[in-house]
């Protein structure tokens, strides 16, 4: 499409403002008018500088949407003071203008002037930063590593046309080896510098400082100081790896371990090697005596396991170090890793399994037999003498006299007692005494014996004495068993003893005498062993302490008379 209309600016002059030393993409927009179809090649504008931008400080572009010209600052420029810059720009279409005259198209002459406009830019002066006289890439310092601290390394020279004073700061000192004076900017070492430090790259250590003026706002400039460190022989040769594996199944059974020295030439390798110790020399040998790695081989057949091999290493300056290499001797796989040792027995055959099971069954059988025998022989030793009834084997009884005993025939106990008293000339006091003895014998053997010997035999003669003696022994034996059983009963039964109860006791003992009258000989009674003399011997005493026995003193005259009849006179006299 042809361009049929001229493009021209809306205004004849523009003004703008910008800061020195500051780049900017846009400081001004200028607009144009073109009556051609919008978006066509004949409508699109193209701007260019006519004057004022000889150093290419400014630039101009076209906005594709609005067709405006955008003026910017391509690079910062220091103007020392505020300055006005005059720019002149022109505009044309991308497509050349075509005119139609007398029905024919024609092109205007090339020297026909195009539309232009003048722009006045005010460059505002700002606070300029200090300037180091020596550029950063030119500041270099050389020193020997591990030098004594406190050495002056560098003093900067700085100029600032906008400020009369400024200060210095440290921006970067990764190892903390230097200090910077705030007023003078002098760089001084504060610790030893190690060339082998990770902060040192290619023998160089970099320190960055900055100068800051007192303007508004403060301006800053930086300077990088490179410190080159000269090496010394301050490090020893060391093994790269402390462990190694010697594969015995390889054709050439040897190990190779690299050696390093962080010092630079001529303070590093190649190194000289030697074995340390007589035992080591007997089992090991060095394939190479010098180089940058240790090559070690076994001299004799060694058992599988771990071995310590001491090595002596020297650098070019004959500075030696001693280290121990841990070597594992084993059989290796394809990857050079030790295989696991196979167990001595991986599996059991059928016969071995059968033997194991048979042995286990035999063990269980023997255990069962021993257990049964132990259960059969076990017998608990029970002492019948502890609060239990004791059965005695009675071998004999009675007296050595065979006089007949005349028992009164009466209908009841009272009549029998009266008849017995008349025939044997027994007084009521003797009968009361015997009555008391019978009752007392029910609660203790000691009380019975005392009354039996003290008041019974003393008042009887002849047949009466033998009769009473038999009654006493029968009463003693019967009451022994009765006393044992009475200990497990309540005392309330004893306290309810009445006269009728005493009569029944007497009647029972008379019957016992009739059963034992057939025994004609008197012999020593042998009793079974009751156990050790323990708590059972004091049960009768405990019984008397726990119960009130005062009722025995109030049994009545009849029991006292009976006790008197049954007590031998000779024993009473002896007492």
* pTM, rounded to two decimals: 0.45
Q: Is 287 left (phi over 0), alpha (psi -120 to 50) or beta?
A: alpha
For tokens 């050696």, what's the residue? Answer: 259
What's the confidence (pLDDT) of residue 443?
42
What's the confidence (pLDDT) of residue 312?
92
Question: Could you tell me the CA-to-CA distances from 220 to 132, 159, 456 in Å, in that order?
Answer: 11, 12, 142
What's the confidence (pLDDT) of residue 451?
41
At 244, list the tokens.
């190694």
Residues 6+ apart with CB under 8 A from 155: 184, 185, 186, 187
What's the confidence (pLDDT) of residue 473?
42
Residues 444/486, Cβ–Cβ less than 8 Å: no
Whole-number Å distance between alpha carbons of 255 and 247: 8
**Cis peptide bond upstream of 168, omega within 30:** no
3-state secondary structure of 489: coil
What's the confidence (pLDDT) of residue 462?
44
Question: Could you tell me the CA-to-CA distances from 501 to 218, 429, 492, 494, 551 in Å, in that order?
Answer: 133, 20, 14, 10, 14
Whole-number Å distance between alpha carbons of 446 and 432: 19
Whole-number Å distance between alpha carbons of 520 and 522: 7
Q: Where are the beta strands (DSSP E) in 261-369?
A: 271-275, 284-286, 290-291, 293-298, 305-314, 320-330
Residues 6+ apart with CB under 8 A from 288: 273, 294, 295
What's the confidence (pLDDT) of residue 549?
62
Domains of the chain, by residue range, sit at 8-124, 131-230, 238-330, 413-529+537-574
What is the CATH T-level fold of the domain 238-330, as seen in this structure?
A: Immunoglobulin-like (2.60.40)
| pLDDT, tens only, 410-469 | 445 555 555 555 555 555 555 445 444 444 444 444 433 434 344 434 444 444 444 444
What's the confidence (pLDDT) of residue 288?
81
Homologous superfamily, domain 131-230: Cadherins (2.60.40.60)
44 phi/psi in degrees, rounded to 5: -70, 135
Which positions of the chain have pLDDT values less than 50? 344, 378, 382, 384-386, 402-411, 431-432, 434-497, 520-521, 534-540, 543-544, 575
- Cβ burial 518-530 (10 Å sphere, 16+ → b, else e): eeeeeeeeeeeeb
What's the confidence (pLDDT) of residue 240?
92
Q: Where are the beta strands (DSSP E) in 199-270?
A: 204-213, 220-230, 238-239, 243-247, 254-260
Whole-number Å distance between alpha carbons of 479 and 497: 15
Alpha helix segments (H runs only) across 309-462? 350-377, 413-424, 428-441, 445-455
What's the confidence (pLDDT) of residue 5?
73
- 8-124 CATH, one of 2.60.40.60, 3.90.280.10, 1.10.10.10, 2.60.40.10: 2.60.40.60
């Amino acid at each position: 499409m042809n361009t049929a209309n001229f493009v021209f600016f809306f205004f004849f002059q523009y003004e703008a403002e910008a800061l020195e030393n500051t780049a900017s993409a846009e400081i001004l927009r200028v607009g144009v008018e073109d009556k051609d179809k919008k978006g066509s090649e004949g409508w699109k504008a193209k701007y260019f500088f006519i004057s004022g931008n000889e150093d290419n400080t400014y630039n101009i572009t076209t906005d594709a949407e609005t067709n405006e010209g955008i003026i910017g600052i391509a690079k910062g420029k220091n103007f020392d003071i505020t300055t006005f810059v005059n720019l002149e720009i022109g505009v044309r279409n991308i497509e050349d203008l075509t005119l139609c005259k007398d029905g024919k198209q024609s092109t205007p002459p090339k020297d026909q002037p195009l539309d232009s406009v003048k722009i006045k830019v005010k460059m505002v002066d700002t606070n300029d930063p200090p300037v180091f006289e020596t550029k950063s890439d030119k500041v270099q310092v050389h020193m020997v590593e591990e030098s004594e601290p406190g050495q002056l390394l560098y003093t900067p020279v700085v100029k600032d046309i906008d400020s009369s004073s400024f200060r210095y700061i440290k921006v970067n000192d990764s190892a903390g080896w230097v200090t910077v004076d705030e007023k003078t900017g002098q760089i001084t070492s504060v610790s030893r510098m190690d060339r082998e430090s990770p902060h040192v790259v290619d023998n160089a250590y970099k320190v960055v400082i900055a100068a800051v003026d007192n303007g508004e706002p403060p301006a800053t400039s930086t300077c990088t100081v490179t410190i080159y460190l000269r090496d010394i022989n301050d490090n020893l040769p060391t093994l790269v790896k402390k462990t190694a594996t010697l594969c015995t199944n390889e054709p050439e059974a040897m190990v190779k371990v690299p050696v390093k020295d962080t010092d630079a030439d001529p303070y590093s390798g190649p190194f000289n090697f030697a074995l340390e110790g007589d035992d080591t020399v007997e089992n090991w040998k060095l394939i190479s005596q010098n180089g940058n790695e240790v090559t070690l081989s076994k001299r004799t057949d060694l058992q599988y396991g771990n071995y310590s091999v001491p090595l002596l290493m020297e650098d070019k300056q004959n500075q030696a170090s001693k280290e121990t290499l841990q070597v594992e001797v084993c059989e290796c796989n394809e990857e050079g890793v030790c295989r696991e040792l196979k167990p001595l027995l991986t599996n059991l055959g059928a016969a071995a399994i059968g033997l194991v099971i048979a042995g286990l069954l035999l063990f269980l059988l023997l255990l069962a037999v021993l257990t049964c025998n132990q259960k059969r022989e076990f017998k608990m030793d029970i002492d019948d003498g502890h609060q239990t009834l004791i059965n005695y084997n009675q071998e004999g009884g009675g007296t050595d006299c065979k006089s007949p005993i005349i028992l009164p025939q009466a209908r009841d106990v009272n009549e029998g007692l009266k008849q017995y008293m008349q025939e044997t000339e027994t007084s009521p006091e003797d009968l009361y005494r015997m009555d008391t003895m019978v009752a007392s014998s029910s609660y203790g053997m000691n009380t019975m014996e005392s009354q039996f010997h003290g008041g019974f035999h003393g008042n009887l003669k002849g047949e009466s004495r033998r009769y009473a003696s038999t009654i006493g022994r029968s009463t003693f034996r019967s009451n022994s068993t009765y006393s044992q059983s009475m200990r497990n009963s309540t005392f309330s039964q004893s306290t309810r003893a009445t006269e009728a109860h005493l009569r029944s006791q007497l009647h029972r003992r008379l019957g016992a005498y009739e059963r034992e009258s057939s025994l004609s000989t008197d012999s020593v009674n042998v009793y079974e062993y009751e156990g050790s003399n323990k708590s059972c011997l004091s049960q009768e005493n405990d019984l008397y302490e726990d119960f009130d026995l005062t009722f025995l003193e109030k049994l009545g005259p009849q029991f006292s008379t009976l006790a008197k009849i049954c007590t031998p006179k000779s024993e009473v006299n002896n007492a």
